Amino acid sequence: MRLKIQHITTYEYQKLVRLNPHHFYLKPLQRNYLEVEAYSLEIDPKPEGINERYSIEGNPYFQAWFTGETESMEIQLNFQVNTKHFNPFLFLMDQWFLQQFNPESEKPFSYRPKNLPLLAAFLAHNKNNLLKSYALEKLKSNDPIQFLTQLNAAIHADWHHIIREEENLWSAAKTFAAGKGSCRDLSFMLMEMLRHVGLAARFVSGYAFNPELEEGHELHAWVETYLPGAGWVGLDPSLGLMVDEHYIPLASSFLPENTLPVHGTFGGENLKPSTLQTSVSIHQI
């Protein structure tokens, strides 16, 4: 499947400002099922310099710095991607991980001690008994994959997916109580649930394509959980699906705010908040 993606982000500053250095997380992550073609990133005003770097978590980003003043900034991303079909269930987990799995325990999953220093950030959570109880209710067998698919599907069934233009992320407790949330809100809630039962989880932002879906899924968020032997496995609670070739990740992190496409500030006198407009189009070619 070949896709053409255009992503335009525009900031309006209401008066002349000086742009501080910015980081743009707008390059697809390496995945064995996708190949990026004809990549183009244009920034107006044109940066004085731009350099590709990698974050502490291995996410590629473009570091740009500017001179002069401007009343706006527009970032236009265009690229094509070839994706090939893969079965998201086609993996094997390490036997020791399966043997330690105990659905009767309040923390059913555990990792080897030598891996815990690396996974600590992906296991930290805000303690919430409601989130933990909801997740534990889905543990109905000795099959971790069945648990993950049931929990993912249950969130899709029990919470209404909404479109929210605001940049802020709802807390997991707020989303749980509201019975609805954006893809970011639902993903953060699932991430917290997984961590409550002992599974390392991280937040992923990127693009999702399916012509049969309702609007608002192009710029998307989902979750990856770490299963020894299988690696990081993707879950989309907004749709109740395992992540497949229709998902194109841009960044992943233990903190959702680390996956925002644009990171940066501006300076000047008597500053007012900027306004943001963004549009994404994905077409099969």
Distances (CA, A) of 105 to 142, 145, 194, 261: 12, 17, 14, 39
Return the minimum-mean-pLDDT range out of 13-22, 159-168, 229-238.
Answer: 159-168
Query: Does residue 255 belong to any structural domain of this protein?
Result: no
For residues 175-203, give the mean pLDDT: 97
What span, in angstroms and rounded, lies between the C-alpha atoms of 123 and 125?
A: 6
Query: Does residue 251 belong to any structural domain of this protein?
Result: no
Distances (CA, A) of 271 to 9, 115, 265: 21, 46, 11
Distances (CA, A) of 92 to 97, 114, 138, 199: 11, 21, 21, 17
For the whole model, what pTM was predicted? 0.94
What span, in angstroms and rounded, lies between the C-alpha atoms of 10 and 91?
A: 41
Query: Does residue 36 belong to any structural domain of this protein?
Result: yes
Give start and end residues of each alpha helix (H) in 179-252: 183-196
Closest CA to 89 of 239, 220, 195, 243: 243
- Secondary structure of 106-154 in the HEC alphabet? CCCCCCCHHHHHHHHHHHCCCCCHHHHHHHHHCCCCCCHHHHHHHHHHH
What span, in angstroms and rounded, lies between the C-alpha atoms of 153 and 173?
A: 19
Residues 176 and 66 in one domain: no
Distances (CA, A) of 10 to 31, 77, 124, 151, 201: 28, 12, 34, 37, 31
Query: Does residue 254 belong to any structural domain of this protein?
Result: no
Domain membership of residue 206 as a residue range: 95-244
Q: Is the pLDDT of residue 215 over 70?
A: no
Residues 25 and 108 in one domain: no
Residues 162 and 267 in one domain: no
Q: How many CB atoms lie within 10 A of CB 96?
A: 12
Query: Does residue 186 belong to any structural domain of this protein?
Result: yes
Query: Does residue 253 belong to any structural domain of this protein?
Result: no
Q: Provide the pLDDT for residue 274.
A: 86
3-state helix, strand, coil in the chain (%, to 5): 25, 40, 40
Query: Does residue 89 belong to any structural domain of this protein?
Result: no
- Angle at which helix 144-158 crosses helix 183-196, to 10 degrees, equals 140
Distances (CA, A) of 222 to 108, 140, 225, 234, 268: 23, 24, 10, 7, 36
230-251 per-position pLDDT tens digit: 999 999 999 999 999 999 999 9
Q: Domain tally for the chain?
A: 2
- Domain of 161, CATH number, reads 3.10.620.30
70-109 per-position pLDDT tens digit: 999 999 999 999 999 999 999 999 999 999 898 888 889 9
Q: How is residue 105 written in tokens?
A: 């325990």
